Amino acid sequence: MDRKESDAYLRLDLARLPQHIAIIMDGNGRWARRRHLPRIAGHRAGVAAVRSTVETAARIGIPALTLYAFSEENWKKRPKSEVDFLMRLLCHYLKAEIKTLNGNNIRLRYIGRQHELPAVVQREMAEASEATAANTGMILTLALNYSARSEIVDAFRSLAEAASRNGGLDHLEVTEESISQNLYTRDLPDPDLVVRTSGEMRLSNFLLWQLAYAEIYVTQTLWPDFRGLQLLEGIEEYQKRERRYGGLVHDQTSGREHIKPRVHAQVKG
């Protein structure tokens, strides 16, 4: 950690770190345009931001970090040349980072419709996650070909299929718990903090169910300029917020604190 990062770290309350941080990495194209470079140069520069953010999160003891790398929409709506470049960049990242992920005790996982990705990418993904499967520290989840609405559709389909295998509709149990248990993120607690770079104020179809109570932190920093320091600044901002989960924070009649607690799932598996 450099001086600025260690100062930011010292300002944090380590007892109240977010248990799961989700990041919408945005602004690679604008970063490149400002430098009169092709968009892919922004994506390439974005890898250094991924590396720094992941290492800082693991070192300060964040249990789970989820990065929105490609949405289903990115995959379907961007020019083939850009998508191909992103796929090659991802494969390169997966190969090159295994050592660093293992050095930081990080487990790598994915969410999204993986089966729609090119076979070669799926193979690299499987190899990288297997190579880190025995680690016991932070869970790093890459959202690849991910769409929150597709995730919810998949969850309802698997609930319906389970009911049909188990005696039909009478056995269909639809509760918050059963839906959560059929999402791709079933082993993770809901994010406490969602960070979006480049100033946009949208969730862009990312973890719509899971972000119900998350604190939202938007920074103007473009993704390729984001580093561990900016992550620590986001956590500092998160720690200044009052989280209410729909309850009252301050009871004006008694003057007592009334935080309606919400049970947080622990990171599993």
Instruction: Give the residue numbers annotated as catalytic, written as ranges.
Output: 26, 74
142 interacts with ligand FPP by CB under 6 A: yes
206 interacts with ligand FPP by CB under 6 A: no
In the shown chain, the binding pattern of residues 98 to 137 toward ligand FPP, with x for contact by CB under 6 A and - for none, equals ----------------------------------------
DSSP state of 257: B
d(CA 221, CA 228): 12
184 interacts with ligand FPP by CB under 6 A: no
d(CA 183, CA 185): 5
Residue 106: phi, psi to the nearest 5? -100, 135
**Which residue, 225 or 236, has its beta carbon nearer to ligand FPP?**
225
Of the CA atoms within 13 Å of residue 58, those in its CB half-sphere come to 22
87 interacts with ligand FPP by CB under 6 A: no
Q: Where does this chain touch ligand FPP (CB under 6 A) — which range of 24-32, 122-130, 145-153, 165-173?
A: 24-32
CA-to-CA separations, 168 to 9, 165, 180, in angstroms, rounded: 53, 7, 21
233 interacts with ligand FPP by CB under 6 A: no
Token pair of 100 as six digits: 């660093």
Cα dihedral 53/191/196/243 (nearest 10)? -120
Residue in 75, 223, 226, 238 binding ligand FPP, rule: CB under 6 A: 223
89 interacts with ligand FPP by CB under 6 A: yes
Residue in 22, 25, 128, 211 binding ligand FPP, rule: CB under 6 A: 25
